């Protein structure tokens, strides 16, 4: 059976790997891109040349109506959403002392409100059809906190509570809800960190001794999306090279 998947932020580092992995497994895949993204067409063309016929929908995940319009477009062009990967996210790191309300809001709206905004559009259909997968991309820093990330850690930790509460509500309807918490993965979110800080502060925290690869995250998402993962719900799966064992 061909399943359909919607990945938010699919044009970013992790999202691209997730889209490619799901497409390679036979899912019909669409991604959102943010209103500020000026290279969405280039990305879609590059993917088409690689053999992936992804659809891309402009969507501000912080905006409920934008999320609604995006899912309506998906329903009209592809069909029902069977798998939703809430992957879009941003950081605005700074100490709490320096953090403005705008920086707090941007991070909480993009990483956490987005999960409500998108999940709300797809859940009734999933429970009616008695099959669905919600996969939320959190972070190790939502589990353990991180200096300069009160906004990000709070938003990512919020995903864990959302996941557990919603998993309870929809378990009997064939829908699973899970969170994954990646550690440091080699995407632009992390490679933007100065090399000297990466080498002196970040890599020494990772027992595996390297950054994670986007494909390694995509493989876990693919498992959670699969038929075999039907008994796995309400979980948070750490995937961090041993950095934080919890
Ligand atoms: P990227 O910055 O590469 O991608 C983030 C994506 O989020 C972008 O594609 C962007 O879309 C999208 N996005 C941001 N704001 C909005 C918005 N308002 N509306 C719609 N889309 C938006 O980051 P990564 O791929 O590294 O991260 C993906 C997820 O994984 C994030 O949630 C991040 O917090 C999490 N994560 C990443 C880790 C890492 O080490 N890289 C570690 C732990 C967690 P567009 O490109 O269209 O602007």
Q: Any catalytic annotation for residue 152? A: yes
Q: Which residues contact 144 (CB under 8 A, 6 or more apart)?
A: 244, 246
- 92-145 pLDDT, tens digit per residue, is 999 999 999 999 999 999 999 999 999 999 999 999 999 999 999 999 999 999
CATH classification of the domain holding 135? 3.40.50.720
User: What number of other Cβ atoms are within 10 A of residue 145's Cβ?
Assistant: 14
Q: Whose CA is nearest to atom 3 of ligand 1?
A: 12
**Which is catalytic among the residues 33, 57, 152, 184?**
152
Positions in the chain whose pLDDT score sits under 50: none
Q: Whose CA is nearest to atom 36 of ligand 1?
A: 139
In this predicted structure, what is the pLDDT of residue 102?
98
Residue 242 lies inside a defined structural domain of this protein: no
User: What number of other Cβ atoms are within 10 A of residue 174's Cβ?
Assistant: 14
∠ CA 50-56-58, nearest 5°, is 150
Residue 66 lies inside a defined structural domain of this protein: yes
In this predicted structure, what is the pLDDT of residue 190?
86
∠ CA 144-147-149, nearest 5°, is 80
Residue 95's domain comprises 4-237
Instruction: Name the phi and psi angles at 178, rounded to 5.
Output: -140, 160
Q: Which residues line ligand 1 (CB under 6 A)?
A: 8-9, 11-15, 32-34, 36-37, 59-62, 87-90, 110-111, 137, 139, 182, 184-185, 187-190
- 227-239 pLDDT, tens digit per residue, is 999 999 999 999 9
Residue 246 lies inside a defined structural domain of this protein: no
How many domains does the chain divide into? 1
Residue 141 lies inside a defined structural domain of this protein: yes
Q: Whose CA is nearest to atom 27 of ligand 1?
A: 14
pTM assigned to the model:
0.98
Atom of ligand 1 nearest to the CA of 15: 25
DSSP state of 131: -
Task: Quote the ligand 1 centre to 128 CA distance (angstroms).
Answer: 30
Output the CA–CA distances (angstroms, integers) from residue 27 to 18, 24, 134, 137, 156, in the order listed: 11, 7, 15, 19, 27
Q: How does DSSP assign 65-108, residue by residue?
A: HHHHHHHHHHHHHT---SEEEE---------TTT--HHHHHHHH
Comparing CA positions, the residue from 70, 54, 178, 55 lying closest to residue 120 is 70
Residue 243 lies inside a defined structural domain of this protein: no
Residue 14 lies inside a defined structural domain of this protein: yes
In this predicted structure, what is the pLDDT of residue 97?
98
Residue 244 lies inside a defined structural domain of this protein: no
In this predicted structure, what is the pLDDT of residue 192?
85
- In angstroms, rounded to a whole number, what is the distance separating the alpha carbons of residues 125 and 58? 22
Residue 245 lies inside a defined structural domain of this protein: no
């Amino acid at each position: 059976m061909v399943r359909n998947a919607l990945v938010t932020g699919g044009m970013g580092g992790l999202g691209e790997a997730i889209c490619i992995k799901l497409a390679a497994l036979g899912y019909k895949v669409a991604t959102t891109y943010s209103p500020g993204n000026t290279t969405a067409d280039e990305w879609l063309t590059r993917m088409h040349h690689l053999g992936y016929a992804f659809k891309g929908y402009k969507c501000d995940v912080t905006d409920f109506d934008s999320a609604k319009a995006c899912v309506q477009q998906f329903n009209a062009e592809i069909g029902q959403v069977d798998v939703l990967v809430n992957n879009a996210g941003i950081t605005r790191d700074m100490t709490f002392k320096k953090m403005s309300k705008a920086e707090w809001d941007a991070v909480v709206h993009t990483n956490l409100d987005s999960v409500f905004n998108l999940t709300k559009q797809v859940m009734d259909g999933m429970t009616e059809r008695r099959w669905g997968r919600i996969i939320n991309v959190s972070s190790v820093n939502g589990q353990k906190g991180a200096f300069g990330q009160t906004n990000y850690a709070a938003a990512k930790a919020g995903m864990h509570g959302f996941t557990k509460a919603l998993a309870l509500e929809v378990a009997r309807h064939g829908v699973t809800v899970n969170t994954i918490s990646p550690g440091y993965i080699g995407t632009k979110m992390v490679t933007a960190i100065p090399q000297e800080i990466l080498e002196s502060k970040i890599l020494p925290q990772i027992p595996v001794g390297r950054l994670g690869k986007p494909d390694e995250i995509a493989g876990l998402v693919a498992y959670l999306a699969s038929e075999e993962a039907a008994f796995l719900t309400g979980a948070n799966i750490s995937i961090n090279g041993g950095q934080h064992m919890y």
